[in-house]
Amino acid sequence: MFALLIEQVLNGLQLGVMLFMIAAGLTLVFGVMGVLNLAHGALYMVGAFAAAFIAAETGSVVLGILVAMPVAALAGLLIERLVIARLYARDHLDQVLATFGIVLFANEMMRILFGPRPLFLNVPDFAAGTLEILPGVPYPVWRLVIILVGLVVAGGLALLIERSRLGMLIRAGAQNRRMVAALGVDIGRLYAVLFALGGLLAGLAGAVAGPVLAVQVGMGEPVLILAFVVIVIGGIGSVRGAFTGALVVGLADTLGRAYLPELARAVLPPAAADQIGAALASMTIYLLMALVLAIRPKGVFGGRD
C-alpha cells in the first residue's frame, strides 16, 4: 500500500518534470513573443523520432538522445524563420491556423519517413533494471534518470533566466517586448534563440520519454494539451509557474488515475463504478485547472495575458 503510493508519487514526479521541459519552452515563447504555438508538441515528437532513429542506427540510446536535442532545436529554428517570424504582429487566430498546418505536415512527414507503426527505444544499458529505493520498493532506474534530468534542466533554466544576459533579455521581453526592441536589442535574434531553446527542451523531453512510451505519430498533441493545462495553472510566461504547474499536474494526473477508480468502487454500484471512475480519473487535472481558474483567472504566477 505504502510502497504503491511511493511508486505513484515518483511516477507523478517523472511525468511532472517531463511536462515542465515541454511547458517551459511553450510558456517562454508565448510570454516573450506572444505566439500561440500548437506545433510545440511536434518538436517533442521530432525529438523522440530522432532519438529512436539514431539509437536504432548506432545502437547507442545516449547518442540518440544527444542528437535529438540539436535536431529538435533546428526544427524549432526552421519553423520560427519560415513561418512564425511572419506572424508575430498577427492575432492568435492566424497563428493557430499556421501552426495547425505545421502539425498536420509534421505528423504526415514522420509517417512518410518512419512508417505508420510505432518505433521502440530501449532503455540505455547503464539504466536498465530497477533500484531498491526503500527496502522492498523497487523502481525503474530510467524513470529516476528522467526525474534527475528534469531537475537539472529546471535548475539550469532558472540559472539561465536569473543570472545571464540572455535571461535578462527574456525576462525583459516577457514584461514589455516593444521596450526591449526600442532599446536596440536585436529582437529577431532573441526570438530565434528562444524558439531554438524551446525546441531543444521539447526534443529532450521527447527523447528521454521515448523508452517509457511508444514513439509514434501524433504523440505530441496529448502532451501539448497537458502543457497548456500546466501553463494555464502556472500563469503564462512564468517559468516558475510552469515548474509548479507541471509538478502539480503530473502528480494529480498519476494519483488520480491510480486511486479514483478505487474510490469510485467504494461508493458506487460496481457496474457504473468502473466507467465513472475511469472518466473521473481522466478528468482530474481539468477539474484542478477549473478550480485554479475559478480562484485566479491568470494562473498562480500569472500577470499578463
Partner 1 sequence: MAAIDPHSTARPPAALAPTATAPTGHAARGGHASIIVVLLLALAPLVASAAGADYLVALTTRIAIWGLAAASLQMLIGAAGLPSLGHGAFVGIGAYAVGVAFHHAQGMDGALGFLAGGGADDLLVTLPVAALAAALIALPIGAISLRTSGAYFIMITLAFSQMLYFVTVAFADYGGEDGLSLWSRNTAAGLDTGDAIVFHYICLGLLALWLALAHRIAGSRYGLVLAAARDDDRRLRALGRSPYGLRLAAFMAAAAVAGVAGALNANLIGFVSPTPLAWTTSGELMVMVVLGGAATPAGAVIGAAILVVLEEMLGRWTEHWAAILGPMLVLAAIFNRGGVLGSLSRIGGRLRGGGRR
Q: Which residues bind partner 1 (CB under 8 A)?
A: 30, 34, 36, 38, 83, 86-87, 90, 92-98, 100-109, 111-112, 221-222, 225, 228-229, 231-232, 236, 271-272, 274-276, 278-279, 281-283, 286, 289-290, 293-294, 297-298, 305
CA distances to 70, 77, 220, 229, 285 from 215, rounded to whole Å, are 18, 23, 10, 23, 24
The Cα–Cα gap between 88 and 97 comes to 13
Kindly tell me the burial class for residue 146, based on how many C-beta atoms sit within 10 Å of its own C-beta (0-12, 13-18, 19 or more): buried
User: Measured from the CB atom, is 171 or 298 closer to partner 1?
Assistant: 298
Distance of closest approach, residue 82 Cβ to partner 1, in angstroms: 8
Report in angstroms how near the CB of residue 132 gets to partner 1 at its nearest: 35
CB of 286 to partner 1, least distance (A): 4
Q: Residue type at 209?
A: A
CB 121 within 8 A of CB 211: yes
Nearer to partner 1, 103 or 207 (CB): 103
End-to-end CA distance of the chain: 43
Q: Least CB distance from residue 239 to partner 1, whole Å?
A: 17
Q: How far is the CB of 232 from partner 1 (least distance, A)?
A: 5
**Residue 253 CB neighbour total at 10 angstroms:** 23
Would you give the distance in Å from CA 281 to the centre of its chain? Answer: 20
**1 or 93: CB nearest partner 1:** 93
Closest CB to partner 1 among 17 and 230?
Answer: 230
Task: Report residue 213 as a C-alpha cell.
Answer: 512510451
CB of 83 to partner 1, least distance (A): 6
For residues 149 and 254, which CB has a smaller minimum distance to partner 1 in the complex? Answer: 254
Q: Of 87, 83, 77, give the one whose Cα is nearest residue 34.
A: 87
Q: For cell 530522432, what's the residue? A: 50
Please answer whether residues 144 and 124 qualify as being in contact, where contact means their C-beta atoms are separated by less than 8 angstroms: no
Residue placing its CB nearer to partner 1 in the complex, 81 or 185: 81
Q: Helix crossing, 165-175 with 141-163: angle to 10°?
A: 80
Q: H helices of 116-176, where? A: 141-163, 165-175
Residue 287 CB, nearest distance to partner 1 (Å)? 8
In the bound state with partner 1, the residue whose beta carbon lies nearer, of 74 and 273, is 273
